[in-house]
Amino acid sequence: MNTRRRNTLAVLASLMTAMALPQTSRAADGYPNKPLRLIAPSSPGGILDITSRIVGKKLSERLGQPVVVENMAGAAGILGMQGLLRAEPDGYTMVMGSSGPNAVNYTLYSKLPYAMSDFAPVIRIITMPNALVVNANAPVKTLAEFRDYARKKQGNLSMAVSMIGTSGHLGGELLKNRLDFTAVTVPYKGAAPATNDLVAGQVDFTVENVITVAPLVKAGRLRALAVTTRERSQILPDVPTLAEQGYPDVDVGAWLGVLVAARTPPAVVARLNTELNAVLADEEVKKQLAQQGGIPLGGTSAEFDSFIRSEKDRWEKIIKAAGIKAE
- Selected from 3.20.20.80, 3.30.450.40, 3.40.980.10, 3.40.190.150, the CATH number assigned to the domain covering 35-128+254-322 reads 3.40.190.150
The answer to whether 35-128+254-322 and 129-245 have equal CATH topology is: yes
Question: What does the pLDDT profile of the chain (327 residues) look like in tens digits?
Answer: 555 555 554 444 444 444 444 444 455 678 999 999 999 998 888 889 999 999 999 999 999 999 999 999 888 899 999 999 999 999 999 999 999 999 999 999 989 999 999 999 999 999 999 999 999 999 999 999 999 999 999 889 999 998 888 899 999 999 999 999 999 999 998 888 999 999 999 999 999 999 999 999 999 999 999 999 888 998 999 999 999 999 988 888 899 999 999 999 999 999 999 999 999 999 999 999 999 889 999 999 999 999 999 999 999 999 998 898 886
The domain defined by 129-245 carries CATH number 3.90.1150.10 = no
Strand partners, 67: 36
In whole angstroms, what is the distance from residue 320 CA to residue 327 CA?
Answer: 14
Longest pairwise C-alpha distance within the chain: 93
For the purposes of burial, counting CB atoms within 10 Å of the CB of 321, is it exposed (0-12), middle (13-18) or buried (19 or more)?
exposed
In whole angstroms, what is the distance from residue 82 CA to residue 77 CA?
Answer: 9
Is the dihedral angle over the CA atoms 10, 12, 14, 16 positive or is it negative? negative
Phi and psi, residue 166, nearest 5° = -75, 165
Domain assignments of the chain as residue spans, ordered by start: 35-128+254-322, 129-245
